[in-house]
Structure 1
Amino acid sequence: MPEQPATRPREAKKPPTIYEVARLAGVSHQTVSRFLRKDPTMRPDTVRKVAQAVQELNYRPNLAARSMRTRRTNRIAVILPDSTSFVPTRMLSGAAAAAHEAGYLLDVVGLGGDAAARAARIGTLLQPENVDGILSFTPLAENMEGLAPSALRVPIVVDGEYDDHMRSRGLLADATPAADIVAYLAGLGHRRFVHVAGPRNWASAWNRRRMYERAVAEQGLISHAVVDGDWSVRSGWDAARDIVAGSGVTAVFAANDQVAFGVIRGLQSLDIDVPGEVSVFGWDDDELGRYFDPPLSTVAVDRERQGRAAFERLLSLLQGDRPAAPLDTTVLNRLVPRGSTGPAPSP
């Protein structure tokens, strides 16, 4: 039987180069490089042409080659506290998308152990041969007290204001939408309210409670009760059955969506119609709320925008640009009325 000629494996198609992108866009390869660095001085029409060529060719920067040329790793360390089960997935998604567009990869690092162990971990990350920069979603000052100023060899951005349990503080604990919720429900004819709050040691929960109480007082409404909760479905369930039912309350503002789910199910377990008899408003835009029965009115929080803005601040430091503008927190929160709220019932 004659031998069959050996078949050669088909060569993989080579990835496009920066020169091919430049040729397709009708610009120099230096211009493409400026585009990849997000040079703010580029003309909009040039940016558009290069972006179109990058997309058409599915061009991806060669990080290894760039690292050898620039002596950079093209890696960013994202630091999270190790003492929490909460992972800011949506913030990470926004930061990762912005990093990818700029040609960087993110490494997520948890800070565990005692103070010495945390400081040692940070000291390792501060070496430029390991990462180009650090984006932290947890405070670092206390963990860096033992480090010499000469150790700070890469740029650092600490995003937002969080404690070591990812509890928001300061601007990111902004509770302005609580007043908007009260005003929205008052516009539907509601006059008697209950607020099922979050834990008092969370700044975001405390601020929502305070803003709720202020808004109710300013509009001449009645707050039947402020119930201490713990962010859980169970705290909403208990409040609905023990406080709201039979009280004449027609509107409940829950500190988050989990609490709101509990309020709704607690009321429904007593055959109290939502929103026919009691309207319920939550906070966080948990995906489940869109498919709940009834769909939950809530506050949508744009965490992707927050994560993207945090990375862009770090990128401006890496590129030596002027500092990026601080995040406008007023654009983070948006009221989303759905089926769990409706007009107050007739007396």
Structure 2
Amino acid sequence: MRESTQTKKATIYEVAALAGVSHQTVSRYLRGTGGLRPDTSERVQAAIGELNYRPNLIARSMRTRRTGRIAMLVPSTTGLPLRLISAVVSVAHDAGYGVDLIGREGAAGGADHWQAVADSGEFEGILTLGSGPHTPQATGTTAVVAVSNYDDDLRTRGALADGAACGQIVRTLADLGHEHFLHVSGPPEYASARNRQQVFLDTTAELGLSATVVHGDWKGRSGHDAVMGLPRDTPITAVVAGNDHSALGAVRAAVERGWRVPRDLSVFGWDDHDCGRFSTPSLSTVANDVERQGREAAQRLIALIRGEEPPAPDLRSLHTFLPRESIGPAPLKRPRLRPPHG
């Protein structure tokens, strides 16, 4: 006889029993009306997490006139920051809220499309990517928070586009003896690409290093073409790519032209994609903590909905430096690059 894998949903009474409180206290916590001691809220939240409890949002709306829904507004439904959205959904669900993803075409259009959704009364809170209020606010009964790290074309900006880690890349490679650098940048319309390029140029100039910039488009082909286009007697021994895709393109071109990575050429990427983590050699890169951005935005919004003090922002950098197998000491002597077709 085959056992059923379907599990019974936890009830509010089971949450209350596990937390050591009454079911009315759990209900107060879910309504976000405040008045609970911090340790009580923590026990209830821990019990909700352990039991994977999900409130009945329809019943709750009928009792409290709350919808239990959060809207996440995006300028476009293509090129979405899925890791950030996943973090928002996880935090919202843990707090008892459902999340509706709404493209601009589904709202009012224009920079104030969030206002029309707020006026609909269907949502307790709104997270908006791109245009939105500069500071968290409540519009009528709807709380609104803007995720400020994206513009209306979903290009990164602000802390997420900070290029400071590019300076750490250059300094690390310089400490390994590299003196001649190539930077394959991203498209100049991206603040992240401009910032990384500027930090690259500033740091190489500060250290008295040779620097060449080739403008790319985030794709593997741009890194591949940049390395394939180097002259046979180039002194360049280090490539700092705008992202992992162009970095892997550079690695492939080096192999095609007779160089070994990292013995003859060191390559550094950016973004920490799986494709680089599991490549051979594994790609040195910079990880972007976009999940933290999503979590913090959702936490601010839920605190605003409940009239609570939002958690203090995490001021640490969103970027983590990850040197791996694709970098090494500058070569004392290496084979010349083979010509593209030689």
Q: TM-score range by the shorter chain?
A: 0.7 to 0.9
Letter in 2 for 1:139: S
Aligned partners of 1:319, 1:124: CA distance in 2, in Å?
A: 22
SS in structure 1 of the partner of residue 249 of structure 2: helix
Shift in Å, 1:124: 4.0
Q: Who is 1:235 aligned against?
A: 222
1 CA distance for matches of 2:130 and 2:219?
23
Partner residue in 2 for 1:24: 18
- Please state if 1:208 is matched with 2:226: no
Bigger mean CA offset, 263-272 vs 239-248: 239-248
Instruction: Indicate the larger mover: 130-139 or 17-26.
Output: 17-26
The answer to whether the Cα contact below 8 Å between 1:22 and 1:50 also exists between their aligned partners in 2 is: yes
- The equivalent residue for 1:287 is 274
Contact persistence 2:286–2:322 (CA under 8 A): yes
Q: Are residues 1:72 and 2:66 paired?
A: yes
Closer, same or farther: CA 100–55 of 1 in aligned 2, 3 Å: closer
CA-CA distance at 1:101 after TM superposition: 0.7
The Cα of 1:198 is off from its aligned counterpart by 0.9
Question: Deviation per CA, 1:17-39, whole angstroms, max 9, x where unpaired?
Answer: 32332233322334434554496
The question of whether the paired residues in 1 share the 8 Å contact of 2:149 and 2:156 is answered with yes
| Partners of 1:160 and 1:172 within 8 A in 2 | no
**Given the alignment, which residue of 134, 139, 160 partners 2:131?**
139
1:197 is the counterpart of 2:170: no
C-alpha distance in 1 between matches for 2:285 and 2:169: 9
* Amino acid in the other structure paired with 2:157: R
Normalised TM-score (structure 2): 0.85
Residue of structure 1 equivalent to 2:142: 154
Identity of counterpart residues, as a percentage?
46
1:125-136 counterparts in 2 under 5 A?
125-127=117-119, 129-136=121-128
CA contact (8 A) 2:156 2:190 kept: yes
Instruction: Quote the residue 2:338 is aligned against.
Output: none
Residue 60 of structure 1 deviates from its aligned partner by 2.1
Cα distance in 2 for partners of 1:176, 1:236 equals 21
CA distance in 2, matches of 1:185, 1:167: 29
Judging changes above 3 Å, is the alpha-carbon distance between structure 1 residues 215 and 28 closer, same or farther for their aligned structure 2 residues? same
Residue of structure 2 in register with 1:173 after alignment: 161
2:222 aligns to what SS in structure 1?
helix
Task: Count residues with an aligned counterpart.
Answer: 326
Q: Tell me the SS of whatever aligns to 1:155.
A: strand
With normalisation by structure 1, the TM-score equals: 0.84
SS in 2 for 1:289: helix
Structure-to-structure mapping, 1:100-139, within 5 angstroms: 100-112=93-105, 117-118=109-110, 122-127=114-119, 129-139=121-131
Native 8 Å contact 2:114 2:128 kept in 1:
no
Check the 8 A contact 1:175/1:208 in 2, yes or no.
yes
Query: Is 2:284–2:323's contact at 8 Å kept on the other side of the alignment?
Result: yes
Contact 2:184 2:223 in 1 (8 A): yes
Q: Residues 228 and 314 from structure 1, CA distance in 2 versus in 1: closer, same or farther, beyond 3 angstroms? A: same
SS in 1 for 2:119: coil
Work out whether residues 245 and 267 of structure 1, in 8 Å CA contact, stay in contact via their aligned partners in 2: no
Query: CA 1:217 to 1:54, structure 2 compared with 1: closer, same or farther past 3 Å?
Result: same
CA-CA distance at 1:15 after TM superposition: 4.0
- The 2-side partners of 1:291 and 1:277 are apart by 21
SS at match of 1:299: strand
The residue type equivalent to 2:19 in the other structure is: A
Alpha-carbon shift at residue 87 of structure 1 (Å)? 1.0
Q: Give the whole-Å Cα distance in 1 for the aligned partners of 2:231 and 2:293.
A: 36
Letter in 2 for 1:335: F
Q: Is the 8 A contact 1:128 1:154 kept in 2?
A: no
Secondary structure of the residue that 2:54 maps to in structure 1? coil
Q: Does 1:97 align with 2:90?
A: yes
| 1:54/1:38 CA distance change after superposition, 3 Å | farther
Where 2:142 maps in the other structure, the secondary structure is: coil
Please provide the CA RMSD for this pair: 3.0
Letter of the 1:176 counterpart = A
Q: Provide the rounded CA distance (Å) in 1 between the counterparts of 2:151 and 2:278.
A: 32
Give the whole-Å Cα distance in 2 for the aligned partners of 1:150 and 1:275: 54
Alignment match, 1:268: 255
Query: Is the 8 Å Cα contact of residues 114 and 126 (structure 2) preserved in structure 1?
Result: no
User: Any idea what SS the aligned residue of 1:243 has?
Assistant: coil
Equivalent residues of 1:72, 1:128 under 8 A apart: no
